[in-house]
A and B are shown apart, each in its own frame.
Chain A
Amino acid sequence: MSENEKLLEVKNLRTSFFTHVGEVKAVRDVSFHLDKGEILGIVGESGSGKSVTCMSVMRLLQDPGRIIGGEILYEGEDLVKKSEKEMRRIRGEKISMVFQDPMTAMNPVFTVGNQMIEVIRQHRNVNKKEAHDIAVKMLGLVGIPSPEERMKNYPHEFSGGMRQRAMIAMALSCGPDLLIADEPTTALDVTIQAQVLDLMKDLQQKTGTAIILITHDLGVIAETCRRVLVMYGGMLLESGTVEEIFHHPGNPYTLGLLRSVPNPEKSRDRLEPIPGSPPDLIRPPEGCPFCYRCKYAMNKCVKEIPPLFDLSETHQSRCWLLHPDAPATDAFEKEGK
């Protein structure tokens, strides 16, 4: 596998929900790419558009959600133009997904084995026995003890962590090239969180499956990912490698996120929350989505959406402070108050 081959390239994606009260512009002009075998993190608050972006990639948006523009190139083919039938062959086989709440993500009235075998047989031309063996192997691979017996269990007979492992096993059972994990550890307690993350990292190395990890937990990102996207108000505000984002953030919003995470070395300092709440996506601000909560906001920020400025080859940020004509600022000095 060559290093920088693009597996997925999202270009100018726009997704909206056409509700009674108006068009909710959940994803506004988001572009990013994912290399083969890479782990990409997407971070943002609730309602920042990170989940909707991924549901758009899977083409799993429920009414009244619709992709209204842009391209989603998967191995060069535009998923936006695929028929539902073609998408069905991609889902589960090429791209699969793990969701937030493992307690409700499995059907309670069928055994874990039944559900896994069903997915395997849907995509692979194998008989029941072979599918069963693949499922047992996958459950073993994700660290479920005595997988043969566990196949006969119903989801409620699994603990939360085990269910999430089983979900991962199911998602990987057809050997997808891309796994989208939408807050896979949010519903789990901390020790189990670490185990599941380790498992995902481990499987990624073994199978070479690329992973998009959606989370609002910066700690999870730092531990697992190579590159990070920071989303806010349906837009991409910053993207870069983990080192760039954590050590040289180029956006006041990213800085705000970093400052609102507790740091054990400076436990006496108060945490600094970001004041205010995310913008209304029915009538998003004309300018930068973060402008009304940003303490560095200028007149221009309110009027015009900033473009993505290149900070390095891998590091982009959407902020007017980065414009050559912008006034000098201490905004990006991480320790500065």
Chain B
Amino acid sequence: MLKYCVKRALSMLLTLFLIATATFFLMRAIPGGPFTRERTLPPEVEKVLMEKYNLDAPLMVQYKDYIVDLFHGDLGPSFQKVGVRVNDMISAGFPISAKVGGIASLMIILVGIPLGILAALRKNTLPDYVVSILATVGITVPSFVIGAFIMYVFGELLGWIPAGGLDNWKGYIGPVLAIGGFSLAFVIRLMRSSMLEVTGQDYIRTARANGLPGYKIVFKHAMKNALIPVVTYIGPMVASILTGSFVVEKIFAIPGMGKYFVESITNRDYTVIMGTTLFFAALYVVMVFLVDIAYALIDPRIKLND
């Protein structure tokens, strides 16, 4: 187990290194730069700026310098926000995004899985239809529509939730539903179909033939098998939900880190692009690793040492 974890840790580092390299060169291939404006800067000013941020060095030298800094845990300064370091931007924004995302993830797991099971067990009856329709709506309606709808109906018309910000618990309702809506719907559908497949298996028939009560068949024998595909989806989903969403944070005025993913690219804020991408990638590979561990815990046929 320890050997496996060390091996995985090394491969995760290699993955991140490759992502860093690819992102670095791809982002530099985009035309424009951090100081390209509609009104061009005087050449002297631009020259000073380029020197200050080490942008005048050859690309390979810049790459080497960035990787060296990265290994020291330094993501560099933002080009747009003078005097602000990327590390600080992430450590300020991530906890806020993660709190909203964490609540959304919990909601997805605690609501999505039971509803999926319910729909499967009550297949082709009213509860199934209701859940399936809600799930279809959740998948087809984009987050900005859900967000705007919640904001208008519950914020503007009914006044139940604040118009923005996270000052009290009510402030979380809108962003959590907007950011988690799609995944919640997806998990419901996934759990439903997975459960339906599992309940048709021979071992469920065996359990019934052995006189086991329904709740044991559903929550012990069927659920453990049905969870495998859901866990596969939930791992990466958590990584992406925890890092926030540009759209949702804009609608609900949340100072999270989701906006950096989009803004940094339009601004060609190279260090922020690198920082947010690598942060997300790191979270992602860790979640995939956790999913693999979860597989081995759920299904004994999956061995980690291979």
Contacts and interface: CB of A to CB of B under 8 A. Distances in A.
Contact of B301 (A91, A111, A156): A156
Contact of A101 (B202, B208, B213, B301): B202
A22 interface: no
A93 to B, nearest CB: 6
Interface string A95-110: 0110101001111111
B203 A104 contact: yes
A104 B224 contact: no
B226 to A, nearest CB: 10
Interface in B193-230: 201-203, 205-213, 216, 220-221, 224-225
A108 B209 contact: no
A105 B211 contact: no
Nearest to A111: B300
| Interface hub of A93, A118, A154, A170 (most chain B Cβ within 10 A) | A118
B298 interface: yes
B211 A123 contact: yes
Nearest to A90: B211
B203 A88 contact: no
Contacts of B202: 99, 101, 104-105
B225 A88 contact: no
A60 B209 contact: yes
B209 A58 contact: yes
A122 B203 contact: no
Q: Is the interface of B mostly helix, strand, loop or mixed?
A: helix
Contact of B208 (A60, A90, A108, A167): A60
Given A99-B202, A99-B205, A106-B203, A91 B211 contact: yes
Interface string A232-271: 0000000000000000000000000000000000000000
A89 interface: yes
Given A154-B300, A156-B300, A108 B203 contact: yes
A91 B214 CA distance: 13
Interface string B160-196: 0000000000000000000000000000000000000
Contacts of A97: 206, 209
A122 B209 contact: no
B206 A106 contact: yes
B299 interface: yes
Contact of A108 (B212, B213, B299): B299
B211 A109 contact: no
A97 B211 CA distance: 10
B123 to A, nearest CB: 9
B249 to A, nearest CB: 40
A197 interface: no
A314 B234 CA distance: 63
Contacts of B220: 110, 118
A127 to B, nearest CB: 18
A92 interface: yes
A107 B207 contact: yes
A107 B210 contact: no
B211 A118 contact: no
Nearest to B213: A88
A156 B210 CA distance: 20
Contacts of B210: 91-92, 96, 119, 122, 170-171
Given A108-B225, A109-B225, A156-B300, A92 B209 contact: yes
A122 B301 contact: no
B174 to A, nearest CB: 39
A58 B209 CA distance: 7
Given A99-B205, A108-B203, A154 B211 contact: no
B221 A108 contact: no
Contacts of A106: 203, 206
Interface in B87-102: none
A45 B201 CA distance: 23
Contact of B298 (A58, A99, A109): A109
Interface in B255-306: 298-301
A23 B273 CA distance: 64
A37 to B, nearest CB: 21
A107 B211 contact: no
Interface string A26-49: 000000000000000000000000
Contacts of A93: 211
A171 B211 CA distance: 11
A156 B303 CA distance: 12
Contact of B206 (A89, A99, A111, A122): A99
Interface in A53-109: 58, 60, 87-93, 96-97, 99, 101, 104-109
B209 A109 contact: no
Interface in A164-182: 167, 170-171
Contacts of A101: 202
A224 B299 CA distance: 38
Contacts of B211: 87-93, 119, 122-123
Given A91-B209, A92-B212, 14 more contacts: A58-B209, A90-B211, A91-B210, A91-B211, A92-B211, A101-B202, A105-B206, A108-B301, A109-B225, A110-B220, A122-B210, A156-B300, A156-B301, A167-B206
8 contacts: A92-B209, A97-B209, A99-B206, A104-B202, A105-B205, A107-B206, A122-B213, A156-B300
Interface of A: 58, 60, 87-93, 96-97, 99, 101, 104-111, 118-119, 122-123, 154, 156, 167, 170-171
Q: Top 10 closest A-B pairs, CB basis?
A: A92-B211, A91-B211, A92-B210, A104-B202, A107-B203, A97-B209, A154-B300, A119-B210, A88-B211, A105-B202
Interface of B: 201-203, 205-213, 216, 220-221, 224-225, 298-301
